A and B are shown apart, each in its own frame.
Chain A
């Protein structure tokens, strides 16, 4: 069966909450008050606490799951490892934003007994600006 290159999964809406941003920022050891203190963020000109760039994994997580679990791709989870990750970022995400993420299958390759599954996520905010584009590279070890 040919891999479904370009297949797109349903868009997922994520509402960014202030406490979630702070929880994430603390979990990754951020010390910049923009991520932890809404008054500091407002004083710097932002509407609310600013999500660290890598918060992209949080608002993308529900959108990427259907791709991993797509029976058409036949991914063996017991052998799945995260090979690489890229994000390109646009405007910063702040608490109160509503982010819509659409995931698609970018490439599927089998080399030397290993499977390489690459997905792309495109996330836009409520104003239609692209806040991040992610490239998710996963390897299923043979």
Chain B
């Protein structure tokens, strides 16, 4: 695996099914009702249950580790959350190498979008191969 500045990582595309937030709540321990209770989510002004931001961040992490050859390659990941992720709508993670240091550290800039809107932005990662 070789990376150089300007190179795009393979896009990661995933469509969260209608129960993904229920499974993620159980797996992560985050049972905030805005993610698992349709009625509650609507009562607080949301269109319906929304994705966990940290689930979406996990997709960004996965785009990096899949491209770089495994979980050991990801040394740092920073993201900003914006807007909300919705169920049953394809999510796309795009990532581009911005710089490769002399010591081999690969810097990557990324975002995650749904229907053209960034829900994770300012993704900033360091990879070591």
Chain A: residues with CB nearer than 8 A to chain B? Answer: 20, 23-24, 26-30, 32, 34-35, 50-54, 57-58, 61-62, 78, 81-89, 92, 135
Contact = CB atoms under 8 A, between A and B. Distances in A.
Interface in B36-86: 44, 53-55, 57-59, 61-62, 65-66, 70-72, 74-81
Contacts of A86: 76-79
B62 A30 contact: yes
B7 interface: no
Contacts of B81: 81-85
Given A82-B81, A84-B81, A89 B75 contact: yes
Given A81-B81, A82-B54, A82-B81, A53 B74 contact: yes
Interface residues of B, number: 32
A133 B52 CA distance: 21
A35 B71 contact: yes
B77 A53 contact: yes
B57 A54 contact: yes
Contacts of B61: 52-54
B41 to A, nearest CB: 14
Contacts of A57: 28, 30, 54
Contacts, number: 90
A28 B55 contact: yes
A50 B57 CA distance: 18
Interface stretch (B19-27, B100-108, B109-117): B19-27
A54 B20 CA distance: 16
Nearest to B75: A89
A89 B80 CA distance: 18
Contacts of B14: 29
A92 to B, nearest CB: 6
Nearest to A25: B27
A119 to B, nearest CB: 14
A34 B71 contact: yes
A52 B29 contact: no
Interface string B1-36: 000000000000010000010011011111000000
Contact of B80 (A51, A52, A84): A84
A130 B71 CA distance: 16
Q: Which of A30, A32, A54 is most buried by chain B, counting CB atoms within 10 A of its CB?
A: A54
A20 B66 CA distance: 21
